[in-house]
Amino acid sequence: MNPNSINIYWFVIPLSISISLVYAATRHESWNRIAWHAARLC
Amino acid sequence: MKPANIDLKNPYLAAFLAWFMPGLGHVYQGRRGKGVLYFVCIFLLYAVGLYLGEGKIVYWKWVNPLRNAEEFRLAYLSQFWVGLGALPALLQATLAHWNQPPILGGFLAEPPLHVINELHRLGKFLDVGTVYTEIAGLLNILAIYDAFEGPAPELEPEPTPVAAANASMVENGV
């Protein structure tokens, strides 16, 4: 696969989702709150 | 501040397990959902980053950063916090320091200089892989803290089921 054929911003998506979920999970215990917090951060 | 409704068991052991394998400390505490979430988010991010860098972007070298800043692996200081996934690098560096041959087929051993130079053909994959592995390690620090201390205190406490029911009754004018 040619690395230059992929827009680098596609790699930000999994990074952003992971950071949001992990950060939200360290702030809350309830899954609803984790999901809302993560969604706000994304 | 420890939340009253979470049994953190032995927080030191939980923190160690959370470092050793992302999510393991939470599974030990019975917080299985969070354990799976941390494992998927952190370990998968690390694994994908390592794959993008062809397994040659995570390694350590025992050098004094004040004397040999160029060869000092600053990235590994954050990658280390992934635990087991990055631990072979420390082992390989220690063996190399004592002039012993690498083990595990050279997994996470310091690559020769020509291999490191040749990695630049990966282009942006090299940078993305490095960032992924570093961020994974840094995220695991948050997970370790969560295993040790519980969720960080909030400004507004999470409503208990009774308080939530009362609030909905007030809203409905009951």
Position B164 scores a pLDDT of 63
Across the range B60-78, mean pLDDT stands at 93
Question: Quick one: closest CA in A to B4, which residue?
Answer: A29
Specify the higher pLDDT residue, B169 or B74: B74
Question: Quick one: closest CA in A to B121, which residue?
Answer: A3
Q: Chain A window 1-42: which residues touch B at a Cβ cutoff of 8 Å? A: 3-4, 6, 8, 11, 14-15, 17-19, 21-23, 25-31, 33-34
Of B8, B47, B41, B7, nearest in space to B22 by CA: B41
Are B45 and A4 in contact (CB < 8 Å)?
A: no
Among partner residues A8, A26, A30, which is closest to B152 by beta-carbon distance?
Answer: A26
Query: pLDDT band at residue B152, thresholds of 50, 70 and 90?
Result: confident
pLDDT in tens, B35-48: 999 999 999 999 99
Lowest pLDDT segment from B13-27, B72-86, B121-135, B157-171: B157-171
* Full-model pTM: 0.84
Does the interface predicted TM-score (ipTM) exceed 0.85? yes
Task: Please indicate if any CB of chain A lies within 8 Å of the CB of B37.
Answer: yes
Position A8 scores a pLDDT of 87
pLDDT in tens, A1-42: 666 688 889 999 999 999 999 999 999 999 999 999 999 988
pLDDT in tens, B101-147: 999 999 999 999 999 888 888 888 999 999 999 999 999 999 999 99
Position B160 scores a pLDDT of 64
Among partner residues B37, B124, B131, which is closest to A25 by beta-carbon distance?
Answer: B37
Are B143 and A28 in contact (CB < 8 Å)?
A: no
DSSP readout, chain B? ---TT----SHHHHHHHHHHSTTHHHHHTT-HHHHHHHIIIIIHHHHHHHHHTTT-S-------TTT-TTT--HHHHHHGGG-TTTHHHHHHHHHHHTTPPP-GGGTTPPPPHHHHHHGGGGTHHHHHHHHHHHHHHHHHHHHHHHHHH-SPPPSSPPPPHHHHHHHHHHHTT-
Whole-angstrom Cα Rg for chain B:
21
φ/ψ of residue B19, rounded to 5: -70, -45
| Residue that is written with structure tokens 């635990």 in the block | B83
Tokens of A27: 């702030």
Are B37 and A21 in contact (CB < 8 Å)?
A: yes
